[in-house]
Amino acid sequence: MFRGFYTAASGMIAQQRRTEMLTNNMSNANTPGYKADQSSMRAFPEMLLQRMDQVSIPTKKKLNLPFEPRLGSVNTGVYMQETMPLFAQGDLRETGAKTDLALLDISMPVNEESGQSGMVFYTVQGSDGVTRYTRNGNFTLDAEGYLTTASGHYVLSQQGQRIQLNSDQYTVDETGQITENGAAAGRIGVALAANPNVLVKEGDGLFRSEGGELPDAYTQNEAQFQMKQGFLEASNTDAARTMTDMLTAYRAFEANQKILTAYDRSMEKAANEIGRVN
């Protein structure tokens, strides 16, 4: 009977976490460059239950030896094993703003191990000096003229330097070259993640690479992409599917909740009626 409590409770926890993930995806449906999370559910491995006890040997010194009789196996249900971002191209949305840039993947190399297509990212740097990566091209110019993200991270050039401009009247061509007042002003830094699944997702649409900095995408012949000025890449969240998944998760949570309530009533009846001594 108690095993049913664990199974139903684990199902509720798993569906609650899945609902939280889907809710976060829905709240970022309008966030530029956002990559929706996906979850994978897995059944817990069976556990072998044993009862800790001891057995007395009828000797003169009354020797006691530990004894662990087996009670049987129990499967405690499911859990949400992990969440992984969905690295897929979002739709391009025209804004007309010169500081808005969008990356368009044309042809990306496919990782042989994972079968996942690669993806290119802007290279940015925070105040801690760590290089991070993002698909959110909603850039702006700070008070000193540095090109930054909405969260204040500096946009880096192909050489890994911060990009400083005199005004927002500049142009960026499809190859990332910046032109200001008829003169070249640098090139937007773009990195290639051959296997995006190794990236760690952070807040504000940022990703971190734990295996060292990603290679320069411009020098990778297999990576073909374009940069679009005056456009933003929209979130790849499918709002209709996300709403359907949220309803499914809610109903699964509710079903486990009813099972838990039924177990509780059965235990109450066993304790108050069946176990009553007349």
From 1, 2, 15, 3, select the one nearest 75 (Cα to Cα). 3
**pLDDT at residue 276 in the model:** 61
* Rg over CA atoms, the chain: 28
| Residue 68 confidence (pLDDT) | 60
The pTM is what? 0.79
Q: Which phi and psi angles does 272 have, rounded to 5°?
A: -95, -25
Distance CA 24, CA 205 (A): 12
| Identity at 194, one-letter amino acid code | A
Task: Residue 27: name the closest of 198, 230, 207, 246 by CA.
Answer: 246
Lowest-confidence segment of 1-10, 89-98, 255-264 by average pLDDT: 1-10
Q: What are phi and psi of 242, to 5 degrees?
A: -65, -40
**Tokens describing residue 151:** 């969260």
The whole-angstrom separation of Cα 109 and Cα 139 is: 27
The pLDDT of residue 40: 83
Predicted confidence band at 273 (pLDDT cuts at 50, 70, 90)?
A: confident
Q: Tens of pLDDT along 57-101?
A: 666 666 666 656 665 666 667 778 788 899 999 999 999 999 999
Quick: pLDDT tens for 16-60: 999 999 999 999 999 999 999 998 887 766 665 555 665 566 666
Question: What CA–CA distance (Å, rounded) separates 14 from 272?
Answer: 32
Note the pLDDT of residue 11: 86
pLDDT the model gives residue 53 = 61
Bridge-based pairing of strands 190-193 and 119-125 is: antiparallel
Encode pLDDT of 159-205 as tens digits: 999 999 988 889 999 999 999 988 888 999 999 998 898 899 988 89
